[in-house]
Amino acid sequence: MPLDPRLLAVLACPQDKGPLYYLGDDNGLYNPRLKCKYLVREGIPVMLVDEAQPVSPEDVERLDGKIAAGIIPPTFVV
């Protein structure tokens, strides 16, 4: 089940307070500045700094490319 767009519009990284990039429920919310992601469990984003997972260099390159191409929009614009 995808996250509600109204929820996505207010989600920020709990660590650096910047926007995130929603990758779908299976992949969570990606922070390109910290190279980490927050999982979504049962439709609920787990926005705990201690629960953030590092993203592999290969996935960082792939995801950053999608972000640069505008394929994945940010949760909000600064």
Contact criterion met (CB below 8 Å) for 20 and 12: yes
Contact criterion met (CB below 8 Å) for 15 and 53: no
Contact criterion met (CB below 8 Å) for 36 and 28: no
Domain ranges of the chain: 5-68
12-52 pLDDT, tens digit per residue, is: 999 999 999 999 877 899 999 999 999 999 889 999 999 99
Q: Is the pLDDT score of 59 beyond 80? A: yes
Q: Is the pLDDT score of 1 beyond 80? A: no
The CATH number assigned to the domain with range 5-68 reads 2.20.25.10
Q: Is the pLDDT score of 11 beyond 90? A: yes
The amino acid present at 73, given as its one-letter code, is P
Q: What is the pTM of this model?
A: 0.93
DSSP codes of every residue in 2-64: PPPHHHHTT-B-TTT--B-EE--TTT-EEETTTTEEE-EETTEE---GGG-EE--HHHHHHHH
